[in-house]
């Protein structure tokens, strides 16, 4: 029994060391490239495909890629509920595509955010993307202040368990990229500022960007997330653009959005 416990402890130590070394290697590579974009090889325009039928047969691979909602994970109390994508999506073979996972928490039955729940969420994410070929994985989680520690540890564990060379992207509230620096050292390759449906905050965000010229957090300086309904001439240029449409994408809606994007990207 003592021998078995010692072996378990040794394996646990090896696993922890592997995680530490993986994160250290990522941190060194990131610091070595300063503000360089780790995902510079991705298309400059990416279309989000959320939970609805989508047909991208019209898409030219030289124009844009697709980010597909692969599943949604909901946290209720001690429970973790994982729902895979239910709606069909058609993507031409040569179009770059990668998955995004949405995480939601129950505001009534608050999640425990325990170590067990942490492990179950990471396992659920990996299960939802298992069997897919992708260059990048994106996580979409509007974590409140009390959930940030949980989110940080989740990203650290996920980073360590992803195949070598796989990029890790996250969406981010605009405030996280400006006056709230908590995401500055998260183990991700990019944080995509979500610059639509900001409500009363839009004017303040626009003013700050006009004054400063860019986001405070360096991890937010590679890309932006916008919708087809809004114009953002005040955004920093030269970014990778994630586009959201409130209706299923069509050749016409994409052509119109792409024409607008080309004016200032």
pLDDT tens-place string over residues 166-203: 999 999 999 899 878 799 999 999 999 998 877 667 77
What is the 8-class DSSP label of residue 129? H
* Mean per-residue pLDDT of the chain: 86
pLDDT given for residue 31 in this prediction: 39
State how far the Cα of 189 lies from the Cα of 26, in Å rounded to an integer.
9
In the beta sheet, which residues pair with residue 192? 171
- The structure tokens listed for 183 are 């995401």
pLDDT given for residue 255 in this prediction: 95
Query: Cβ of 241: how many Cβ atoms within 10 Å?
Result: 22
Q: Where are the domains of the chain?
A: 1-33, 43-264
User: How many residues are recorded in the chain?
Assistant: 265
Domain made up of 43-264: CATH architecture: Alpha-Beta Barrel (3.20)
pLDDT given for residue 200 in this prediction: 62
pLDDT given for residue 30 in this prediction: 44
pLDDT given for residue 212 in this prediction: 80
Q: Is the dihedral of CA 28, 34, 40, 44 positive or negative?
A: positive
- The structure tokens listed for 243 are 């586009």
Low-confidence ranges of the chain (pLDDT < 70): 1-34, 199-200, 231-234, 264-265
pTM of the model: 0.85
pLDDT given for residue 21 in this prediction: 40
């Amino acid at each position: 029994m003592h021998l078995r416990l010692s072996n378990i402890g040794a394996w646990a130590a090896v696993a922890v060391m592997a995680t530490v070394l993986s994160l250290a290697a990522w941190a060194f590579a990131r610091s070595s490239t300063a503000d360089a974009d780790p995902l510079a090889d991705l298309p400059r325009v990416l279309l989000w495909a959320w939970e609805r039928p989508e047909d991208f047969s019209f898409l030219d691979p030289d124009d844009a890629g697709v980010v597909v909602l692969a599943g949604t994970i909901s946290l209720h109390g001690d429970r973790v509920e994982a729902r895979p994508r239910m709606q069909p999506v058609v993507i031409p073979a040569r179009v770059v595509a990668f998955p995004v996972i949405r995480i939601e928490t129950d505001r009534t039955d608050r999640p425990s955010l325990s170590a067990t729940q942490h492990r179950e969420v990471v396992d659920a994410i990996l299960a939802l993307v298992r069997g897919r070929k992708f260059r990048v994985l994106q996580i979409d989680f509007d974590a409140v202040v009390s959930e940030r520690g949980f989110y940080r540890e989740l990203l650290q564990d996920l980073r360590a368990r992803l195949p070598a060379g796989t990029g890790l992207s996250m969406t981010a509230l605009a405030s996280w990229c400006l006056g709230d620096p908590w995401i500055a050292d998260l183990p991700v390759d990019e944080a995509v500022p979500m610059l639509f449906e900001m409500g009363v905050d839009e004017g303040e965000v626009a003013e700050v960007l006009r004054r400063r010229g860019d986001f405070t957090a360096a991890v937010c300086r590679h890309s932006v997330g916008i919708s087809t309904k809004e114009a953002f001439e005040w955004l920093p240029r030269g970014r990778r653009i994630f586009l959201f449409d409130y209706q299923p994408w069509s050749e016409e809606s994409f052509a119109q959005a792409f024409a607008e994007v080309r004016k200032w990207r």
